[in-house]
Amino acid sequence: MFRHPKPPACLKTASATLAVLAMAVFALVAGPTGEAAAQSRIKDIVSFEGVRDNQLVGYGLVVGLNATGDSLDGAVFTRESLVGMLQRLGVNADDDGLDTENVAAVMVTATLPAFARVGSAIDVNASALGDASSLLGGTLLVTPLVGADGEVYAVAQGTLAVGGFAAEGAAETIVRGVPTSARVANGAIVEREIPFELASLRNMRLSLRNPDFTTARRVSRAINAFVGIETTRVLDPGTVQMAIPDEFAGQVVELITDIEQLRVEPDQIARVVIDERSGIIVMGENVRINRVAIAQGNLTIRVTEAQQVSQPLPFSNTGDTTVVDRTDIEIDEDEDRRLGVLETGVTLQELVNGLNALGVGPRDMITILQAIKFSGAMQAEIKVL
């Protein structure tokens, strides 16, 4: 039988060295861990001045519906819009003789992206304004979309795509999704641009999506360290003002591209968010609790009513058969619950473990957290949605 010869010692040493190098390369490729892993790009925590979307809105008509449109008697605006549209097209429509259910009035909304140019296409949404039951199969007619200044920035038209449907029978109705809301992909053409010269800026403001003094200062220091000079200053917790350095004059896009990739560690306030309606509790990492004792218990009184039949003795000539009510009352004071103590400076995980050890449910936990805050033992902000 053929046997492979044993590798010499030098080959073993080389193999071990290659293994160590491979592990080092893997660690470098995998990226930093710990504190560095918690860092975020400036691109993800700030927005740059002038780089923003704009909302557009318009009123239009949808035609081609299969008897699922507005009733012209109930939706007066649909009737007037239909008459006006027909007259503009040269059709002398009789207002009293109109009777169709294939037309629906809709509100059309769209978002104009930053630096959208004339001729580019954007998506639009159409929502029924009257009593139409479905927009399935409809076509949106030419609809001007205006901005907050009243100027027309885009014109929408196209076939609607509805994500839901409705079916109705004699004894049952099925509705899936929202058939009165539709979308037209690339349904609007941009007709007007928003004037903004990014390359000519000499100063720019960076707005933090989550305003915080510490985070704003870290963003400012990171940019200054990258540029090499003091080019930024913090105006408030949500704004960092940056002066464009002379070497980047006319090259603002290149500067923003480099700044976006800088990484900082955002700071966050100790906060507990409570949704009373759904019982959801979200607690931040920095929530701390001073030494406090917690006991949780409920007084439960259960009353059970039952009926029992009472009959006379066999072969007895006296007495009647009657129904007698029987009441059973049980009282549970949760005497098995114990007092729990949370030490000073416990972390979020320790707080959750302590409350779970007491068998506290989400609803009771909301009340306990509010009571801890009221006692002054919680060093955090509670926000109830």
Residues 194-207 have a mean pLDDT of: 86
Residues 248-272 have a mean pLDDT of: 88
pLDDT on residue 28: 38
Whether the pLDDT of residue 228 is over 80: the answer is yes
pLDDT on residue 33: 42
pLDDT on residue 276: 74
pLDDT on residue 109: 96
Between 219 and 163, where is the model more confident?
A: 219
To the nearest 10 degrees (0 to 180), the angle between helices 252-260 and 213-227 is 120
Over residues 60-109, the pLDDT tens digits come to 999 999 888 998 888 888 888 888 888 888 888 776 667 888 999 999 99
Between 385 and 2, where is the model more confident?
A: 385
Whether the pLDDT of residue 6 is over 90: the answer is no
Tell me which H or E stretch contains 289. strand 288-289
pLDDT on residue 150: 92
Question: How many whole angstroms separate alpha carbon 81 and alpha carbon 104?
Answer: 10
Question: How many whole angstroms separate alpha carbon 277 and alpha carbon 274?
Answer: 9
Least confident of 45-54, 205-214, 278-287: 278-287
Least confident of 31-35, 240-244, 255-259: 31-35
**High-pLDDT (> 70) share of the chain, %:** 74
Angle at CA of residue 283, ends 280 and 284, nearest 5°: 145
pLDDT on residue 3: 44
Residues 224-248 have a mean pLDDT of: 91
Whether the pLDDT of residue 357 is over 80: the answer is no
Question: How many whole angstroms separate alpha carbon 329 and alpha carbon 303?
Answer: 5
Split at pLDDT 50, 70, 90, the class of 302 is low
Between 143 and 290, where is the model more confident?
A: 143
Whether the pLDDT of residue 37 is over 50: the answer is no
Between 168 and 16, where is the model more confident?
A: 168
pLDDT on residue 232: 93
- Of the spans 94-108, 137-151, 277-291, 295-309, which averages the highest pLDDT? 137-151
pLDDT on residue 331: 53
Angle at CA of residue 194, ends 193 and 196, nearest 5°: 120
Over residues 106-136, the pLDDT tens digits come to 999 999 998 899 999 999 999 999 889 899 9
Residues 338-351 have a mean pLDDT of: 59
Whether the pLDDT of residue 334 is over 60: the answer is no
Split at pLDDT 50, 70, 90, the class of 29 is very low
**High-pLDDT (> 90) share of the chain, %:** 34
Counting DSSP H helices and E strands in the chain, the numbers are: 7, 24
Picking from 311, 302, 242, the residue whose alpha carbon sits closest to that of residue 49 is 242
Whether the pLDDT of residue 152 is over 60: the answer is yes
pLDDT on residue 108: 97
Residues 298-318 have a mean pLDDT of: 65
Question: How many whole angstroms separate alpha carbon 156 and alpha carbon 234?
Answer: 42
CB 78 within 8 Å of CB 105: yes
Give, as one character, the DSSP assignment of residue 362: H
Residues 14-32 have a mean pLDDT of: 40
CB 217 within 8 Å of CB 235: no
Least confident of 193-207, 232-246, 349-363: 349-363
Split at pLDDT 50, 70, 90, the class of 303 is low
Picking from 109, 119, 124, the residue whose alpha carbon sits closest to that of residue 192 is 119
Least confident of 11-25, 48-62, 91-105, 356-370: 11-25
